[in-house]
Chains A and B, each alone.
Chain A
Amino acid sequence: MDANRIKQDFQVYEDKTLCYLDSAASSLKPDRVINVLDEYYKKYGVNVHRGVYNLSYIATEKYESSRQTIADFINADFDEVIFTRGASNALNVVALSYGMAHVNEGDEIIVNELEHHSQLLPWQQVAKAKKAKLVYIPLTIEGRITTENFQKVLTNKTKVVAINHTSNVMGYITPLEEIIPLAHEVGAVVSVDAAQGVPHQKIDVKSLDADFLAFSGHKMLGPTGIGVLYGKEALLKEMSPVEYGGDMIDSVEKYESVAKDAPYKFETGTPPIGEAIALGEAVRYIEELGYENIREHEQALKEYTIKEMQKIEGVTIYNPTVETGIIAFNIDGVHPHDAVTYFDGDNICMRAGHHCAQLVTRWLNVVATLRISYYVYNTFEDADQFLTSLKGAVAFFKSVGF
């Protein structure tokens, strides 16, 4: 994969000094995705499902055809793809609709300390409301979820397993192909947070057999404000809407009303139409690049970077065995916020903080971490720019007395 060529697809790289290493927070957006968004607003920026005129027909066609693109992309059926505002919104729908209806007093919900707050907190609310128990999978010394440790907490009381595909802090991939069948054996439903998975790896919801799966557009070269909730048709069918109002309803009487079928009963009000259409374009872009190439490229960058970082004294890497392009680290004795200002001065964008996952930060026993994350447009020059800056940072902070 020629990342230097790919950079040309992104106008933001007109700034030749930009070293963007924060794709796990949000990826950059290629021009062709922006153009599709632009085209919607300029040429047919009207509502869907409502107008009987031609422009509205075009908008509806494109919106629904994007749903089909995404369904094909993850091997789901058309009706199983719900457009949401993002992964957080999608995960909340699962907890509020499925969780509130099916979890009862004494039931157990399996979570773990790696989960993003958007996956953890909705289930915390369900557990509180229903007097159910949150059960944590013990993490290994490396901070991983293993099938073995999952089995230690799986019981006949388990109703729901809320779990990430890829951790946004540690970058580890969860062994879902083993965990999901085990959960199904006890009759539990598995809700997968794939916000860090879908951008980097082929996900086939049928072969994975996930019950729910959520992801965000803006982390996979698409727009902000759009995401996807996949749910198995049988589950979606009997679930209640979370929000009521326009577009999601079939017939309305004075005291009763009947909701549409999935996915529409979960898409209340005017959706982010241009964003949904542009997400379809992002999917086509990813498919043209090819997941195999993306993985291989990110792996190569990650291996090189970790190997070189390990040569620098005074740097701690928290996930040296990681299999994706996410590296969590700190400069010893330097608060990540101090460090990140140094990198910023070299026009290197990276994340410092707890990454919306306070539990794993606490698990690591640090106040916060630095994180770099690679994606399709990152080059070995980016890696070198980072490594040079890292060496400079270590020396600088030492020189001023840290």
Chain B
Amino acid sequence: MNNMENLYRQVIMDHYKNPRHKGLVNDEHYHTSHIKNPTCGDDITIQSRVEDGIVKDIRHEGTGCSICCSSASVMSEVLVGKTVEEAEKILETYLNMLTNKEYDEEVELEDAIAYQGVSKFPARIKCASIAWKAFEDTLKESE
């Protein structure tokens, strides 16, 4: 039998249907990163604005499956307002959680914890990570 319920959690579906922080802005204070997964057609653009060491805003736009699109929205909600250091810690913890590596359970992942089930679906790990990886790229640019 299928254990799909572990994947399609309510939080994920909610963000898929009603994405927050969606839509890009034309503002030079934002750093932009575009990631494509050519095998499945996922295509995500992430923008972030960092000021005084704090993630002030994240925007996203793109097409992809529910896991991919919702994760961009969840990530935006979780990370906006965090210091860059906190955001990097959460990012690392999240990616470790997805890939079945050891991760620091003390780190508060907030709604991103909903993606814990993805680790049981190896073919979908990429879907849940590309928005986060794109965000990581924007951080590198702002350094």
Contact = CB atoms under 8 A, between A and B. Distances in A.
Interface in A191-248: none
A contact residues, range: 20 to 34
Given A400-B13, A402-B66, A368 B4 contact: no
Nearest to A392: B2
Interface in B14-40: 17, 39-40
B56 interface: no
Nearest to A361: B41
A341 B7 contact: yes
B96 interface: no
A392 B5 CA distance: 13
A393 B110 CA distance: 29
Interface in A372-393: 392
Interface string B66-102: 1110000000000000000000000000000000000
Contact of B2 (A338, A342, A354, A361): A342
Contact of A396 (B4, B10, B63): B4
A396 B67 CA distance: 16
A290 B42 CA distance: 41
A346 interface: yes
Contact of A341 (B17, B64, B124): B124
B13 A367 contact: no
B41 A341 contact: no
A352 B3 CA distance: 20
Contacts, number: 54
B124 A396 contact: no
Given A345-B4, A396-B2, A354 B67 contact: no
Contacts of B67: 337-338
Contacts of B13: 400-402
B127 interface: yes
Contacts of B40: 336-337, 352-353, 368
A344 interface: yes
A130 interface: no
Contact of A368 (B2, B10, B41): B41
A401 B17 contact: yes
Contact of B65 (A335, A344, A346): A335
B66 A341 contact: no
Contacts of B123: 341, 344
B66 A338 contact: yes
Nearest to B64: A335
B39 A338 contact: no
B26 to A, nearest CB: 25
B63 A367 contact: yes
B121 interface: yes
Among A337, A353, A367: residue with most chain B CB under 10 A: A337
Contacts of A402: 13, 66
Contacts of A346: 2
A335 B66 contact: yes
Nearest to B126: A337
Interface in B34-62: 39-42
Contacts of A401: 13, 17
Contact of A337 (B2, B10, B124): B124
Contacts of A345: 1-4
Nearest to A401: B13
A134 to B, nearest CB: 21
B4 A337 contact: no
A72 to B, nearest CB: 38
Contact of B4 (A336, A341, A353, A361): A341
Contacts of B39: 353
Nearest to B14: A401
Interface string B103-143: 00000000000000000010110010000000000000000
A400 B2 CA distance: 14
Nearest to A366: B41
B135 to A, nearest CB: 21
Contacts of B7: 341
A353 B42 CA distance: 10
Given A392-B2, A401-B13, A337 B8 contact: no
A368 B37 CA distance: 12
Contacts of A361: 41
A354 B41 CA distance: 7
B41 A367 contact: yes
Contacts of B17: 401
B12 to A, nearest CB: 9
18 contacts: A335-B65, A337-B65, A337-B124, A338-B66, A338-B67, A341-B4, A341-B123, A341-B124, A345-B1, A345-B2, A345-B3, A352-B40, A353-B39, A367-B64, A392-B2, A400-B10, A400-B13, A402-B13
Query: Which 8 A-B pairs rank lowest in CB-CB distance, beginning with the nearest?
Result: A345-B2, A337-B65, A335-B65, A400-B8, A401-B13, A368-B41, A338-B65, A337-B40
Given A354-B41, A401-B17, 4 more contacts: A337-B68, A341-B7, A345-B1, A400-B5
